[in-house]
Copies of this chain bind each other. A is one copy, B any other.
């Protein structure tokens, strides 16, 4: 059957299947969703069997279970391992959603829901391309699937799992749809990813909330202290001040910087889209370099004291922050994690108690563009989008990609179909139906081309 016809005839079923996954709020960061994780894994198991896998099973791990499936064609053929994740980010702030995050709707040609893109929507693209290949008996290589349920919390159980199941996961290349393109008309393949390190900081001042009139001025306020400490992490020049932080950061090669400068990029439109009047980052680097090839430090959350209505005066006992660094290839997240803990402890004043807890992390990744699988992916994009995709580094982190390389010795091709406007991790996450269709077409072409 012709591909476009296959998609057209089956689309309402594809969407029903995707919606059945989205309706399960598989939020890995919240313990109350434990049962949803199991339900979501089981639903994927069924869907992968229905799509044409010989076998599929939900496999236990130290955390949420994983879904493994495979279609074996020949012992002599190559094997493609398709990785995705079935967990999603929390949907808060809920009041900013135009429709329910876990009740998907089609509106203006987009699917709107948490997970519409990241990563249920993109994983469904892979499943449906695979279904076509099986149904049309076009598959000439083996296909394996491994879908995990802890990506959004840093895949804490995955390394142990893949170490234990090296034989099961044996493959020639890993294919992942969990990244985004430069634009709907500007297809691109991600060839670099940043790493991540994440910490929670707790600052304790007095042993209880104090009256700021009776104690203010004489007793250190833990929120003031937290702000003062965090304010030192990034210098005036936009560089992170933690000693030895840049030791392993490679200068971006001039050739790569030249390529980055060729990427069509309208800084004015970029600012308009996110509603800011000016940008801020490390001196000496462009915006596209800053958000892809250079490390960053962000306070992801902060809280302490009175945050309710009105004006309560208090000198609080505690202040907290969740902070993270995006890292570049060669920076080891565990080393950075320790450097940060040491740095904060070194500047922590004696009038407060400071506790820094590393949460999770992952290394960056670089994909060579001369790999056969990369070439096949390139052809896929070209077929579906009508132009050759650009090879670009992206600023996000998929720690597992570098772990796969380290533990399994397999390189990954990042064949992602996301768009900036898909608003992943934010309210009103969405996926244009047009991109969903083109994605399936592109992955089918990948399978046809990959040898």
Chain A residues close to B by CB (< 8 Å)? 28-31, 89-90, 92-93, 96, 152-154, 180, 194, 196, 198, 200, 205-221, 223-224, 226-228, 230-232, 234, 274-282, 287-288, 290-291, 294-316, 319-322, 324, 326, 349-353, 359-360, 394-397, 420, 423-427
Contact = CB atoms under 8 A, between A and B. Distances in A.
Contact of A214 (B221, B311, B312, B395): B395
A117 B96 CA distance: 42
Contacts of A295: 217
Given A208-B427, A213-B196, A351-B276, A313 B324 contact: yes
A282 B220 CA distance: 11
A410 B413 CA distance: 80
A275 B207 contact: yes
Contacts of A301: 223, 304-307, 312, 314, 316
B322 A307 contact: yes
B280 A207 contact: no
A220 B312 contact: no
Instruction: Please indicate which of the listed interface residues A224, A290, A302 has the most CB atoms of chain B within 10 Å of its own CB.
Output: A302
A366 B376 CA distance: 82
A388 to B, nearest CB: 23
A6 to B, nearest CB: 32
A45 to B, nearest CB: 25
A83 to B, nearest CB: 17
A287 B212 contact: no
A298 B211 contact: no
Contact of A298 (B89, B93, B194, B221): B221
Contacts of A230: 224, 227, 231
Given A220-B280, A302-B223, A305-B301, A212 B326 contact: yes
A302 B313 contact: no
Within the oligomer, what is the number of copies of this chain?
2
14 contacts: A90-B312, A152-B312, A206-B274, A206-B276, A210-B274, A217-B290, A221-B299, A223-B300, A224-B231, A224-B297, A226-B227, A227-B227, A227-B228, A313-B324
Given A210-B274, A274-B210, A278-B351, A217 B326 contact: yes
A165 B182 CA distance: 69
Contact of A280 (B297, B351, B353, B395): B351
B305 A214 contact: no
B216 A291 contact: yes
Contacts of A208: 96, 274-275, 423, 426-427
Contacts of A206: 274-276
Nearest to A291: B218
A311 B211 contact: no
Given A93-B209, A301-B314, 18 more contacts: A28-B310, A31-B309, A196-B213, A198-B311, A206-B274, A208-B426, A213-B326, A213-B396, A217-B295, A218-B281, A218-B287, A220-B278, A223-B299, A224-B298, A227-B231, A298-B313, A302-B319, A303-B303
Nearest to A287: B218
A30 B308 CA distance: 9
